[in-house]
Amino acid sequence: MKPLLITPALLSIILLIGSLAMAETIASPSKSPTQNVLEKQGTAGGKSDSSKEAADKRKRREFDRIKNLLDKEQYQQAVDEWEHSRTRDTPPLTWESLAWKLAEAYIQLSRYDDAIKVYQRFYVSVDSLSIMERADIGEELIFGELGARPNKKLIPMGKAQCTLCHRFEKDSHLWAGPNLYGIVRRARALVTEASYLNRSRATAQPEAFPGSGNATTAIEYLAESKVCPSCYITPGTWFHRDDWKESPQPSLQKPPISLTVDEMIAIDTWLFLQEGEQPPSLEAMRAAYDKFLKKEDRAGSFDAIKLAALYDARNDIDKAIRLIEDNYDGVVRQNLTPLSLSPELSPYPSMVDEDLSQWRNDPARFVHLKQNSTIAQRFPHLLRPDS
């Protein structure tokens, strides 16, 4: 039987379905395996499958109960149950939609610091994180939660949607895209090989942008492969054909995935640590993305915009403005760019389009910033309501 040929159009549909399904996924926190990997490569740490499954079900029921209370606007009872659950479980909350609902509940109770605390980790700013914290964020972006791994029953997926096409296990069966187990080691060798150095320039995008050149290090290859997957189409995979000029993998900085550079750096950090290697310096990782991704093409973080709204509710105007300044252009660009991975999907709008229009027309959002006409004029797509 011939393997399924995954075309760009088919992958586009899969990505959209994956994005919608992810919104309903409950990620139950568990122990981070990053330290275990460094201490003992290739061994499974933590609970047995049966005990973890039981703990996951308990956590799911607990989260569902809290979510139902929030939906009913029973804010005090919801946060009381949430805080009680924190006395038993210390891992961070990885379910963004629940964190946002909790933040809004804290706002309703005038507990502004707690609102910011429960939500702030969803805006990924790696400058303030340790290597281990950065790797944990990367793991969440790949698998949706800490401690998750593909098994016979489940292929967990996070915001980055990597597991739609890639596998991360040593003995994984062939999947749509390259197995990313050992990718750092392979990338380091690949950038010196003739197949990469003399790669075809007849693809849909032979360079990330004119003059960007080739990757020369492992971290540069990881950066290039995320932002310009058609620069080099990896041979030996289901989605590779000799006559293909465009990779079916989307550029991760573009809709519908829209990862920020900091989020991609977090993923790279996790990949290095999984192979027992020290990640490059943060400066080197940023330089790799600078080489292949222009500032005007970078994604903004809508999570940062939401966090800015919480700072605005606390009347911390300076912090709110800084977050908006750093992310506004990228978010608006995503907002105004149709989701056009294939002609079949071109009618679909950006996934943040509805969010922006709702926020700028909601009198409860950015109450303090909207009162300042000068600031509102600087960020019209967010702060100036439609007439």
Give the pLDDT of residue 253. Answer: 95
Query: Position of tokens 């693809």?
Result: 203
Ranges under pLDDT 50 in the chain: 1-10, 12-17, 19-31, 33, 37-47, 339-351
Question: Which tokens hold the place of 75?
Answer: 């804010």
Cα–Cα distance between 220 and 208 in angstroms, integer?
A: 12
Rounded Cα gap, residues 55 and 272, in angstroms:
29
Give pLDDT, residue 387. 67
Q: Are 313 and 325 in contact (CB under 8 A)?
A: no
Q: What is the pTM assigned to this prediction?
A: 0.82
The model's pLDDT over 305-340, given as tens digits with 9 standing for 90+, comes to 999 999 999 999 999 999 999 999 999 988 766 544
pLDDT at position 153: 60
Nearest alpha-carbon partner for 359 in 384, 332, 336: 384
How far is 184 from 172, CA to CA, in rounded Å? 17
DSSP 135: H
Reported as a single tens digit per residue, the pLDDT across 84-142 is: 988 877 778 888 999 999 999 999 999 999 999 999 999 999 999 999 999 999 999 99
Burial of 155 per CB tally in 10 Å (0-12, 13-18, 19+): middle
DSSP conformational letter for 240: -
Distance between CA atoms of residues 295 and 298, nearest Å: 5
d(CA 153, CA 145): 16
